[in-house]
Amino acid sequence: DIQMTQSPDSLSASVGDRVTITCRASQSISRYLNWYQQKPGKAPKLLIYAASSLQSGVPSRFSGSGSGTGFTLSISSLQPEDFATYYCQQSTSTPWTFGQGTTVEIK
Amino acid sequence: QLQLQESGPGLVKPSETLSLTCTVSGGSISSRDNYWGWVRQPPGEGLECIASIYYTGTTYYNPSLKSRVTLSVDTSKNQVSLSLSSVTAADTAVYYCVLSHGSGSYFDFWGQGTLVTVSS
């Protein structure tokens, strides 16, 4: 299985901050990398697919980049509704695997 | 609007079989290019893909669970069903029904999830 590792595991930030989360794959996954946001008690929500494509309806403050084994999710100006856990997922080979998650907390 | 709704018992005894159903509304389960699946999340932990089925009927099972998992589709009821046999406490999790809609390699629709606890 391809292992996905996110860093950091958690971070504290203030409203208006720029936040960056990193995801690394144990082998090259080209650009088959997706990002999800999960709020407590809710199902994950797709934010970014194919490394950098913004899912319909997702605010433009979210952006993704990277290819191969290294990827980033950025939030340009953190909003109160963005405090959540974020997961990366590779979909280049089965089983599709997720990172362990990064929790963004209020500072 | 496409909606996925999981249903099934919230409590299963160890060694028994966990059975869940995902009912799809707002769309056809046999639509071209759809890829249906199940993802689970143990309490306080991360996400794990369990199994999935392509609109052609081709199935995929996570190798770590393959010997215990069965996935099926009932097109007349617009449902996808999951069975997981010989459960243990480690199978306690929220189980999500998911859909990869079209030819994308991502899950763009999720059910609300259902918590299944394995306990005697």
Digit-coded pLDDT (tens) for B40-70: 999 999 999 999 998 788 899 999 999 999 9
pLDDT at B48: 96
Judge whether residue A89 has pLDDT over 80.
yes
Q: What is the DSSP letter of A18?
A: -
Q: Return residues 50-89 of A near B (CB < 8 Å).
A: 50, 55, 87, 89
pLDDT at B86: 98
A19-60 pLDDT per residue, tens: 999 999 999 999 999 999 999 999 999 999 999 999 999 999
pLDDT at B51: 94
Of the partner residues A36, A43, A98, the one whose CB lies closest to the CB of residue B113: A43
**Phi, then psi, of B85 in degrees rounded to 5:** -90, 165
pLDDT at B42: 98
Task: Give which of B41, B12, B37 is closest to A94, Cα–Cα.
Answer: B37
Compute how many other C-beta atoms are within 10 angstroms of the C-beta atom of residue A3.
12
Q: How many CB pairs under 8 A join A and B?
A: 55
Task: Give which of A1, A20, A23 is closest to A11, Cα–Cα.
Answer: A20
CB pair distance less than 8 Å for B106 and A91:
yes
Q: Return residues 13-52 of A near B (CB < 8 Å).
A: 32, 34, 36, 42-46, 49-50
Return the bridge partners of A6, or none: A23
Judge whether residue B31 has pLDDT over 90.
no
Residue A34 distance to chain B (closest CA, Å): 7
- In this structure, the strands spanning A102-106 and A10-13 are parallel
d(CA A85, CA B26): 29
CB pair distance less than 8 Å for A89 and B113:
no
Residue A21 exposed, middle or buried by CB count within 10 Å (0-12, 13-18, 19+): buried
Least confident of A73-82, B55-64, B107-116: B55-64
Tell whether B53 is within 8 A of chain A (Cβ): no
Tell whether A99 is within 8 A of chain B (Cβ): yes
Compute how many other C-beta atoms are within 10 angstroms of the C-beta atom of residue B88.
9
- In this structure, the strands spanning B35-41 and B93-100 are antiparallel
pLDDT at B56: 80
d(CA B54, CA A93): 15
Share of chain B above pLDDT 90, in %: 80
Average pLDDT over residues A57-76: 98
Region of A101 (left: φ > 0; alpha: ψ -120 to 50; beta: rest) is left
Judge whether residue B28 has pLDDT over 90.
no
Quickly tell me which residue has 């999720």 as its tokens: B110
* Helices and strands, counts by H and E, chain B: 0, 11
Return the bridge partners of A67, or none: A70
pLDDT at A34: 98
Least confident of A23-37, A76-90, B11-25, B56-70: B56-70
pLDDT at A86: 98
pLDDT at A40: 96
Residue A9 exposed, middle or buried by CB count within 10 Å (0-12, 13-18, 19+): exposed
